[in-house]
Amino acid sequence: MADSLDAALRVLRETFGYETFRGEQGAIIQTLLTGDDALVLMPTGGGKSLCYQIPALLREGTGIVVSPLIALMQDQVDALRQLGVRAAFLNSTLDPRERSEVERRLSAGDLDLLYVAPERLLMEETLALLERSRLALFAIDEAHCVSQWGHDFRPEYRQLSVLHQRFPRVPRIALTATADARTREEIVGQLDLGKARRFISSFDRPNICYRISEGNNPRARLWEFLRREHPDDAGIVYCLSRRKVEETARWLCDRGREALPYHAGLPDEVRRRHQERFLREEGLIIVATIAFGMGIDKPDVRFVAHLNLPGSIEAWYQETGRAGRDGEPADAWTAYGLQDLVTRRQMVEGGEGSEEHKRIARQKLEAMLGLCEITTCRRQALLAHFGETRDAPCGNCDNCLEPPESWDATVAAQKALSCVYRTGQRFGVAYLVDVLLGKADERIARNGHDRISTFGIGGEHAPAEWRAIYRQLIARGLLAVDAEGYGTLRLTSAARPVLRGETPLQLRRLRKARPTRQEKARTTAGDLSGSEQALFESLRELRLQIAREQGVPPYVIFHDATLKAMASRRPDSLEALAGIHGIGQAKLERYGERFLAALQSAQPPDDNPALAEAHPTG
């Protein structure tokens, strides 16, 4: 056992350039090395790939990786080849000649890893080829695709139990980043993994800072956030509709950011090109509907912003999870307004589908709203939603960084609710606020609402405050939104005790429109000194140049963390370079000299070099 762990650590260091295993990686790898099956649940960015790549390198034969993400295979294989690993893929994008070359290499034992699309794998021809070859293991990636309940269901995944029947001696590992217990049991059942050892990690993503804010003009607030915190980082902005995607992308471009739209209404070719540019260029923003993201492997997405309220915590967690896969600080920034709440409620109530379906959608939206409105640590609440307990507040979410104030809103809520009642439960927020503020308005007069008891009783709050009050009353279920799409409000039974004065009501105070993050620059190079930043930028340029020469994304050459460590430690020999996070043997040989030259030609550090030596990063 100790021997196999030593061997695995050697590969981790020499091939991948990393020092230690993360979490359960070591134990998972050992399980496969001893020929047993494993089920691995790990969040995005947790380091799932190494769990099968290292055993595939150590065991005799080829590791077969089943993945539905055909578009990603080229990049995955490119990344492995950069490390000196013999990797290839088999899918429908290969022409017959390329395919037979890959097949030849497989039977000749000339491959460490082979990525295969499930439909290709299940063809009798492929299965027969595998039977003639030496196999190290099967890795079933994105294993939640077996689940009919998730949104990534792939029917072919249900047939993958054939692997166990036809190759009983080849160990299998199934991996997913989907947290819920029901999916987990489906994976075990469908893939015949009853005897597999289970490795279930925490779903916490500690490097992601969560912020959710409410109020007007989310777009202006997004701009503030980008300008202050991510002036030249890559990120994703999610919007609810195609139209809003297009508008927002154009708006960002007008302001000088490179932003590309991505949604299901665009031609395949355009989508493919935009995704490709996002992966290969630096600092690009993708503005997208949820159509974008499954299997986006880009490790240096520094922020994920939502300009609309997501429909469930699950979707929000998955989307925000695309930030910071490299483990460096990243932001999940969400903004929503009153209109979002109304739209989401209408989507649930007015949508098609069975009553049961609506009931589930309603519950999911309520849970998401709960997370938006809480005044305590968001991460604790998020993890609790996935069944994990965390004892202490996280210190890395808006509610921890700047605890929200709440106030006794009982009287205000009574006024707001009775205004809904007195006007006949037939109006939307804008009208109700006008009545509360006693506005001289023809429509109000025509309806006789300038003579009711709630006319003009709300002068103590500004219009924005009244909207915030209504929003929170809707979010807490005291008011319901009509399903027809007019945004009219009516009271629910939950409003009664508040109206009668039986229960007091605390609401969140509207946040001032200033950023909540501490005033510390947290751009990509934020933790480097001035001269280090300049050096980091020039290393980034060299990386981009090399990536272009080879037609691969820059992060396939080196991650930002590796460049940062180079910039702060300034290694002056190949040996010193080899000690840096993310530099294995193959990359050292390929790029070592060029990066050393760039480091040497840089200006000497402005701060004391002895100090720079004393605090290595990485």
Look at residue 18 and give the partner it binds from Zn ion, ligand ADP, none, a contact being a CB closer than 5 to 8 Å depending on partner kind. Answer: ligand ADP
User: Which of 80, 542 has the CB closer to ligand ADP?
Assistant: 80
Which stretch, 20-28, 340-348, 371-379, 489-497, contacts Zn ion (CB under 5 A)? 371-379
Look at residue 605 and give the partner it binds from ligand ADP, Zn ion, none, a contact being a CB closer than 5 to 8 Å depending on partner kind. Answer: none
| CA separation for the pair 259, 335 (Å, rounded) | 19
Look at residue 377 and give the partner it binds from Zn ion, ligand ADP, none, a contact being a CB closer than 5 to 8 Å depending on partner kind. Answer: Zn ion
Told to check if 379 binds Zn ion by CB under 5 A, we report yes
User: Which of 404, 579 has the CB closer to Zn ion?
Assistant: 404
User: Which of 209, 284 has the CB closer to Zn ion?
Assistant: 209
Checking DSSP bridges between strand 235-238 and strand 172-176, what pairing results, if any?
A: unpaired
Shortest gap between Cβ of 340 and Zn ion (angstroms)?
A: 23
Q: What is the helix (H) or strand (E) element at residue 341, kind and residue range?
A: helix 338-350
Angle between helices 463-475 and 338-350 (to 10 degrees): 30
| CA separation for the pair 515, 238 (Å, rounded) | 20
Look at residue 400 and give the partner it binds from Zn ion, ligand ADP, none, a contact being a CB closer than 5 to 8 Å depending on partner kind. Answer: Zn ion
Shortest gap between Cβ of 115 and ligand ADP (angstroms)?
A: 13
| CA separation for the pair 429, 338 (Å, rounded) | 9
| CA separation for the pair 146, 174 (Å, rounded) | 11
Told to check if 66 binds Zn ion by CB under 5 A, we report no
For residue 351, report the phi and psi dihedrals to the nearest 5 degrees: -70, 170
Q: What is the helix (H) or strand (E) element at residue 334, kind and residue range?
A: strand 330-336
| CA separation for the pair 579, 569 (Å, rounded) | 10
Shortest gap between Cβ of 559 and ligand ADP (angstroms)?
A: 6
Look at residue 394 and give the partner it binds from ligand ADP, Zn ion, none, a contact being a CB closer than 5 to 8 Å depending on partner kind. Answer: Zn ion
Residues 329-368 as x/- pattern, contact with Zn ion by CB under 5 A: ----------------------------------------
Look at residue 50 and give the partner it binds from ligand ADP, Zn ion, none, a contact being a CB closer than 5 to 8 Å depending on partner kind. Answer: ligand ADP
Which position among 400, 498, 510, 557 is part of the footprint of Zn ion (CB under 5 A)? 400
Shortest gap between Cβ of 42 and ligand ADP (angstroms)?
A: 5
Told to check if 205 binds Zn ion by CB under 5 A, we report no
User: Which of 325, 345 has the CB closer to ligand ADP?
Assistant: 325
Phi-psi region of 95 (alpha: psi -120 to 50; beta: other; left: phi over 0): beta
Shortest gap between Cβ of 91 and ligand ADP (angstroms)?
A: 19
Look at residue 48 and give the partner it binds from Zn ion, ligand ADP, none, a contact being a CB closer than 5 to 8 Å depending on partner kind. Answer: ligand ADP
Told to check if 377 binds Zn ion by CB under 5 A, we report yes
Print burial letters for 240-269: b (CB count within 10 Å at least 16), e (below 16).
Answer: bebebbbebbeebeeeebbbbbbbeebeee
Look at residue 292 and give the partner it binds from Zn ion, ligand ADP, none, a contact being a CB closer than 5 to 8 Å depending on partner kind. Answer: none
Which stretch, 224-232, 261-269, 374-382, 493-501, contacts Zn ion (CB under 5 A)? 374-382
Strands across the sheet with 330-336, in order? 208-214, 330-336, 303-306, 235-238, 285-288, 259-262
Look at residue 88 and give the partner it binds from Zn ion, ligand ADP, none, a contact being a CB closer than 5 to 8 Å depending on partner kind. Answer: none
| CA separation for the pair 261, 278 (Å, rounded) | 11
| CA separation for the pair 321, 331 (Å, rounded) | 10
Shortest gap between Cβ of 58 and ligand ADP (angstroms)?
A: 15
Look at residue 379 and give the partner it binds from Zn ion, ligand ADP, none, a contact being a CB closer than 5 to 8 Å depending on partner kind. Answer: Zn ion
User: Which of 152, 349 has the CB closer to ligand ADP?
Assistant: 152
User: Which of 393, 605 has the CB closer to Zn ion?
Assistant: 393
Angle between helices 70-82 and 585-601 (to 10 degrees): 70
| Site for Zn ion, residues 104 to 123, rule: CB under 5 A | none
Residue 333: beta bridge partners?
A: 211, 305
Which position among 65, 237, 371, 397 is part of the footprint of Zn ion (CB under 5 A)? 397
Which are the contacts of 370, defined by CB distance < 8 A and separation ≥ 6? 381
| CA separation for the pair 316, 103 (Å, rounded) | 41
Shortest gap between Cβ of 324 and ligand ADP (angstroms)?
A: 10
Binding site for ligand ADP (CB under 6 A): 18, 21-22, 25, 42, 44-50, 299, 325-326, 559
Q: What is the helix (H) or strand (E) element at residue 174, kind and residue range?
A: strand 172-176
Look at residue 46 and give the partner it binds from Zn ion, ligand ADP, none, a contact being a CB closer than 5 to 8 Å depending on partner kind. Answer: ligand ADP
Shortest gap between Cβ of 379 and Zn ion (angstroms)?
A: 5
User: Which of 300, 532 has the CB closer to ligand ADP?
Assistant: 300
| CA separation for the pair 416, 436 (Å, rounded) | 8
User: Which of 260, 561 has the CB closer to ligand ADP?
Assistant: 561
User: Which of 200, 360 has the CB closer to ligand ADP?
Assistant: 200
User: Which of 75, 532 has the CB closer to ligand ADP?
Assistant: 75
User: Which of 53, 289 has the CB closer to ligand ADP?
Assistant: 53
Which position among 394, 452, 542, 577 is part of the footprint of Zn ion (CB under 5 A)? 394
CB atoms within 10 A of CB 533: 18
Q: Which tokens belong to 397? A: 């979410």
Shortest gap between Cβ of 133 and ligand ADP (angstroms)?
A: 25
Look at residue 556 and give the partner it binds from ligand ADP, Zn ion, none, a contact being a CB closer than 5 to 8 Å depending on partner kind. Answer: none
Using CB under 5 A as the binding criterion, the count of chain residues that bind Zn ion stands at 6
HEC letters along 77-109: HHHHHHCCCCEEEECCCCCHHHHHHHHHHHHCC
Which are the contacts of 214, defined by CB distance < 8 A and separation ≥ 6? 335, 336, 337, 372, 468, 471, 510, 511
Phi-psi region of 571 (alpha: psi -120 to 50; beta: other; left: phi over 0): beta
| CA separation for the pair 105, 340 (Å, rounded) | 54
| CA separation for the pair 382, 310 (Å, rounded) | 14
Cα 27 from chain centroid (whole Å): 26
User: Which of 377, 505 has the CB closer to Zn ion?
Assistant: 377
User: Which of 20, 601 has the CB closer to ligand ADP?
Assistant: 20
Angle between helices 378-385 and 313-320 (to 10 degrees): 110
Look at residue 45 and give the partner it binds from Zn ion, ligand ADP, none, a contact being a CB closer than 5 to 8 Å depending on partner kind. Answer: ligand ADP
User: Which of 18, 431 has the CB closer to ligand ADP?
Assistant: 18
3-state helix, strand, coil split of the chain in percent (to 5) is: 50, 10, 40
- Write out the residues near Zn ion by the rule CB under 5 A: 377, 379, 393-394, 397, 400
